[in-house]
Amino acid sequence: MDWDRMIREELTGLVPYAPGLREDQVRARSGRDHILKLSSNEHPAGPFPAAIAAMERELLDLNRYPEGSAGALKEKLASKLGVRAEQVMIGNGSNELLRLLGEVVLRPGDEVVYPWPSFIVYPTVTTMFGAEHVRVPLLDGTDYDLDAMLAAVTARTRIVFLCNPNNPTGTIYTRDAFEHFLERLPDHVLLVLDEAYFEFATSGDYPDGLAYFDGDRGIVVLRTFSKIYSLAGLRVGYGIAPERLVHAIDCVREPFNVNSVAQAGALASLDDDAEVARRRAENQEQKTYLYSGFGRLGISWVPSEANFVWVKTERPTEVFEALLEEGVIVRAFGPTPALRVTVGTPEDTRRTIEAFETVVARLGSV
């Protein structure tokens, strides 16, 4: 078989997603029993109690296919968010929804505009469907430049991806900047607002994407149950989009794409707004402690509106490896001069700062 001819040439250069190191790998390598996995932005607490109970009940019926349209979850989200159920789409994580959007919208030769560095799925989706990449660098590698993104839009632009808060930097674009951008964005562009971390944002300048959704204009808002709701292992995300677009995605998505247990857990999680608020406040408190520790050690960091912190370093590989020796797994991005550190429990925060103290003492600086 000539695999070069068999496999679509558009996929040349794509590489499989590389998940972070597993705890058992680092345990064997470092010789430490207790490993901190701070590489995947998972919430340190487990699922909500009501969600656990709902998922356990669902286990008895796993011989049956899940509800194919996720109708109950759609209805509940629609009621909570003030939209119609026909404007809600449910995916196997918001990652699947990003790919499905590309599948129903992108044609070879279209352009996709996205910030960089940002979520790795944007360039992957662009490549998968033969579109052209238009990467707009973040200012100083951390902050959005929406004016530059607007200037990058052409008649061939089909999608603009915006991640707010941005992964991996944790930064946001403000309400005024976004409204200025939105007023000038041409109508032929689909604007995809990826708000996987929006529950963690506390800034008064944070623009909630749903406030700009009217069901007609080409705006999609994506969110997930993987982060503050602690359902990352189940892979369930959702999106709010114009009804015609939701219908198109329903035509091409896999049947039964979200499993029964995931639907039950997500549905039950939506009842506990008080726990969401508690987790948001705790996350903010632990970030403050991390900032204080980094500042004391002379480490540069970027203020974050998410559940992770972008730590600047000119020696990312060396610092990453040194932290592994301390039993702490963070996320590295190749030669990018920074590391992403997930916010954990108070005990996680204490151990994280201690690990950085040891690394600074060993290396002299980060």
Q: Tens of pLDDT along 116-131?
A: 999 999 999 999 999 9
| Residue 32 pLDDT level (bands cut at 50, 70, 90) | low
Whether the pLDDT of residue 41 is over 90: the answer is yes
| Residue 15 pLDDT level (bands cut at 50, 70, 90) | confident
Tell me: the pLDDT tens digits for 198-241? Answer: 999 999 999 999 999 999 999 999 999 999 999 999 999 999 99
Give 306: exposed, middle or buried? Use CB within 10 Å, 0-12, 13-18, 19+. buried
State residue 35's pLDDT score: 82
Mean pLDDT over residues 318-326, rounded?
94
What's at 25, amino acid-wise? Q
Query: Chain-wide mean pLDDT for the chain?
Result: 94
Compute the 3-state secondary structure of the chain and give helix, strand, coil in percent, each to the nearest 5: 45, 15, 40
State residue 119's pLDDT score: 96
What's at 136, amino acid-wise? V
State residue 22's pLDDT score: 72
Mean pLDDT over residues 291-303, rounded?
97
Mean pLDDT over residues 248-272, rounded?
96
Q: Please, are residues 88 and 220 in contact by the beta-carbon 8 Å criterion?
A: no
| Positive/negative CA dihedral, 270, 272, 273, 277 | negative
Whether the pLDDT of residue 29 is over 70: the answer is no
State residue 365's pLDDT score: 81
Tell me: the pLDDT tens digits for 70-103? Answer: 999 999 999 999 999 999 999 999 999 999 999 9
Two structure tokens written together for 64: 């049956």
| Residue 2 pLDDT level (bands cut at 50, 70, 90) | confident
Q: Please, are residues 229 and 47 in contact by the beta-carbon 8 Å criterion?
A: yes
Domains and CATH numbers, the chain: 18-46+274-363 (3.90.1150.10), 49-269 (3.40.640.10)
Percent of the chain with pLDDT over 90: 89
Two structure tokens written together for 241: 């989009």
